[in-house]
């Protein structure tokens, strides 16, 4: 019967997806132990404290980010990196973003004498801060995030570029840690870092001064989700073929490699992932640098959505971006020419990340229908659903354990019961909503929708926790 086949399809998908995630978790623990030993062995070295370090240009696109842009830029300007340039790109904001930057940092107009290697929307003005000579602000006609990053690429002077969101707060020593893979291995073309949820923490002068768990349920569940995604998801991929994703909130790239591939694409909402996949694909095809690594100890903080509507728009967009990248680079999937990237990473993202939501809905429908028709044992179905729920809790809880063990700033003990409650609650409605948002995103992708949607920011208020 069809419903029985669908039910068993769901069971097979569950075994594959959760089995692979368990493998990722195991690999992540191995990587974390190896990384901590390497960092311990390197303590005392002064290699990255001299002006001879590679110049890093931070690209921070800002569109209507008046609530957070000043705190974010102040945070960037005080980072513990000796050779840093900060490039803020005001992408035609309709709020007070540019005015706040002018007032806060005493901007002075300079002649826009730079080579436009990548075509972008017109640049209206180029400014340099009188107070911080390493701060450059580009004012341009609105063109979207990818266009803003390309404008920043044209202006940047660093050999490495770091793309971040304008509302991102970065730990002072994050660049010192993130730049190491590029110095250690010339084959490294990009590196990603850990993103923590700032909601609930106390922020002062552009710094997280107290790491606390969010109190509201949506940002609280996302806190656990981010821990799982970064600490064992992306860390585990270091051993299984390398990452396909570097978060747009905080990622570092070789500037010449990005320019060589034409910069960020305009015609996708998944420009971050698309660039990473294109860099890796080009490197493998030309025997150039193609290694993408995740480094767990550089930390950046981002504000996550606190309303279901805003969160739904975000997950819709992420799924459309994933679908677009998979389609653009479909020639890699299952292709031995691309090694583990083509044979392991790309098929996993296709089956589990892209089509997983559809398989889950169809499989659950078949499971329920089979139970009502008596074609499937109720006890088996109940045991399977309990196992599915329990294993999801175990995987997420393991990420929390890894964080508490490895982090220099773990959650306070009083926050742990709340985090465990969020861990239990994630599988009781939140994941189901996420599946629906992802399916909506796939449907909208098929209809050609490429809009970003409005993201509402609460902002960082000094000395007070949010969320």
Residue 294's DSSP bridge partners are 192
pLDDT band for position 465 (cuts 50, 70, 90): low
pLDDT band for position 399 (cuts 50, 70, 90): very high
Residue 203's DSSP bridge partners are 208
Q: What mean pLDDT comes out for the span 261-265?
A: 91
pLDDT value for 141: 94
| pLDDT tens digits, one per residue of 126-146 | 999 999 989 999 999 999 888
pLDDT above 90 covers a percentage of the chain that reads 51
| pLDDT tens digits, one per residue of 192-238 | 999 999 998 888 877 888 888 999 999 999 999 999 999 888 999 98
Handedness of CA 293, 296, 299, 305 (dihedral sign): positive
Q: What mean pLDDT comes out for the span 406-412?
A: 86
pLDDT value for 460: 54
The pairing of strands 207-210 and 202-204 is: antiparallel
The pLDDT mean for the chain works out to 86
Q: Token digits for 186? A: 């010339």
pLDDT value for 166: 64
Sequence-distant (6+) residues with CB within 8 A of 49 are 82, 176
Q: What mean pLDDT comes out for the span 181-191?
A: 92
Top pLDDT among 381 and 162 is at 162
Cα radius of gyration (the chain): 22
Q: CA nearest 317: which of 145, 144, 229, 437?
A: 437
Instruction: Check if the beta carbon of residue 189 is closer than 8 Å to that of residue 279.
Output: yes
pLDDT band for position 362 (cuts 50, 70, 90): confident
pLDDT value for 333: 94
pLDDT value for 41: 54
Cα–Cα distance for residue pair 445/226, rounded to 1 Å? 25
Top pLDDT among 14 and 87 is at 87
Top pLDDT among 457 and 299 is at 299
pLDDT band for position 407 (cuts 50, 70, 90): confident
pLDDT band for position 150 (cuts 50, 70, 90): very high
Torsion, Cα 148 150 154 158, to 10 degrees, reads 100
pLDDT value for 264: 92
pLDDT band for position 270 (cuts 50, 70, 90): confident
Torsion, Cα 11 17 18 23, to 10 degrees, reads 140
pLDDT value for 44: 42
pLDDT band for position 242 (cuts 50, 70, 90): confident
Q: Residue 150: phi, psi to the nearest 5?
A: -65, -40
pLDDT band for position 320 (cuts 50, 70, 90): very high
Cα–Cα distance for residue pair 196/213, rounded to 1 Å? 10
Instruction: Check if the beta carbon of residue 281 is closer than 8 Å to that of residue 338.
Output: yes
Instruction: Check if the beta carbon of residue 178 is closer than 8 Å to that of residue 298.
Output: yes
| pLDDT tens digits, one per residue of 56-105 | 999 999 998 888 788 778 878 888 888 999 999 999 999 989 999 999 99
Terminal-residue alpha carbon distance, the chain: 48
Q: Residue 54: phi, psi to the nearest 5?
A: -60, 140
pLDDT band for position 454 (cuts 50, 70, 90): low
Sequence-distant (6+) residues with CB within 8 A of 388 are 14, 18
pLDDT band for position 463 (cuts 50, 70, 90): very low
Cα–Cα distance for residue pair 167/97, rounded to 1 Å? 12
Q: Has residue 356 got a pLDDT over 50? A: yes
Cα–Cα distance for residue pair 409/155, rounded to 1 Å? 35
Q: Has residue 462 got a pLDDT over 50? A: no
pLDDT value for 113: 65
pLDDT value for 78: 85
Handedness of CA 386, 387, 390, 393 (dihedral sign): negative
pLDDT band for position 453 (cuts 50, 70, 90): low
362 half-sphere exposure, CB direction, 13 A CA radius:
14
Q: Has residue 308 got a pLDDT over 90? A: yes
pLDDT band for position 253 (cuts 50, 70, 90): very high
Q: What mean pLDDT comes out for the span 333-361?
A: 92
Cα–Cα distance for residue pair 181/295, rounded to 1 Å? 8
Q: Has residue 445 got a pLDDT over 80? A: yes
pLDDT band for position 459 (cuts 50, 70, 90): low
| pLDDT tens digits, one per residue of 411-430 | 989 999 999 999 999 988 89
Q: State the SS3 of the chain.
A: CHHHHHHHHHHHHHHHHHHHHHHHHHHHHHHHHHHHHHHHHHCCCCHHHCCCCCCEEEEEEECCCCCCHHHHHHHHHCCCCCCEEEEEEEECCCCCHHHHHHHHHCEEEECCCCCCCCCCCCEEEEEEECCCCCEEEEEECCCCHHHHHHHHHHHCCCCEEEEECCCCEECCCHHHHHCHHHHHCCCEEEEEEEEEECCCCEEECCEEEECCCCCCHHHHHHHHHHHHHHHHHHHHHCCCCCCCCCCCCEEEEEHHHHHHCCCCCCCCCCHHHHHHHHHHHHHHHHCCCCEEEEEEEEEEEECCCCCHHHHHHHHHHHHHHHHHHHHHCHHHCCCHHHHHHHHHHHHHHHHHHHCHHHHHHHHHHHHHHHHHCCCCCHHHHHHHHHHHHHHHHHHHHHHHHHHHHHCCCCCCHHHHHHHHHHHHHHHHHHHHHHHHHHHHHHHHHHCCCCCCCCCCCCCCCCCCECC
pLDDT above 70 covers a percentage of the chain that reads 90
């Amino acid at each position: 019967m069809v419903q029985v086949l669908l039910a068993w399809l769901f069971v097979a998908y569950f075994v594959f997806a959760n089995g692979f995630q368990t493998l990722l978790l195991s690999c992540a623990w191995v990587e974390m132990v190896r990384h901590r030993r390497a960092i311990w062995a390197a303590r005392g070295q002064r290699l990255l404290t001299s002006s001879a370090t590679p110049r890093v240009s931070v690209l921070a696109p800002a569109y209507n980010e008046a609530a957070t842009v000043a705190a974010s830029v102040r945070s960037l300007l005080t980072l513990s990196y000796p050779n840093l340039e900060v490039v803020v790109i005001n992408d035609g904001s309709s709020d007070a973003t540019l005015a706040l930057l002018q007032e806060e940092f005493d901007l002075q107009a300079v002649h826009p004498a730079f080579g436009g290697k990548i075509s972008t929307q017109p640049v209206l003005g180029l400014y340099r801060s009188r107070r911080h000579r390493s701060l450059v602000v580009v004012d341009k006609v609105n063109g979207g995030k990818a266009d803003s990053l390309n404008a920043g690429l044209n202006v940047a002077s660093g050999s490495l570029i770091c793309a971040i969101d304008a509302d991102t707060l970065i730990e002072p020593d994050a660049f010192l840690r993130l730049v190491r893979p590029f110095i250690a291995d010339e084959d490294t073309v990009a590196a990603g870092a850990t993103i923590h949820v700032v909601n609930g923490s106390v922020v002062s002068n552009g710094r997280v001064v107290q790491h606390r768990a969010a109190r509201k349920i949506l940002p609280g569940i996302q806190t656990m989700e981010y821990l799982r995604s970064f600490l064992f998801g992306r860390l585990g991929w270091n051993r299984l073929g390398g990452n396909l994703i570097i978060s747009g909130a905080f990622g570092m790239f070789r500037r010449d490699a990005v320019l060589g591939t034409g910069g960020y694409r305009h015609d996708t909402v998944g420009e971050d992932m698309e660039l990473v996949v294109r860099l890796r694909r080009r490197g493998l095809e030309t025997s150039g640098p193609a290694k993408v690594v995740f480094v767990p100890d550089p930390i950046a903080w981002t504000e996550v959505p606190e309303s279901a509507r805003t969160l739904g728009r975000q997950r819709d967009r992420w799924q459309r971006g994933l679908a677009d990248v998979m389609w653009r680079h479909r020639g890699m999937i299952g292709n031995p020419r691309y090694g583990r990237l083509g044979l392991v990473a790309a098929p996993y993202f296709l089956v589990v990340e892209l089509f997983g939501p559809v398989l889950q809905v169809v499989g659950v429908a078949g499971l329920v229908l089979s139970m009502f028709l008596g074609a499937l044992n109720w006890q088996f179905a109940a045991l399977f659903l309990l196992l599915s729920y329990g294993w999801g809790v175990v995987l997420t809880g393991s990420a929390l354990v890894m964080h508490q063990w490895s982090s220099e700033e773990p959650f306070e003990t009083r926050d742990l019961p709340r985090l465990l409650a969020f861990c239990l609650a994630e599988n009781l409605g939140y994941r189901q909503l996420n599946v629906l948002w992802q399916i909506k995103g796939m449907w909208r992708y098929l209809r050609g929708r490429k809009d970003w949607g409005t993201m509402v920011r609460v902002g960082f208020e000094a000395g007070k926790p949010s969320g």
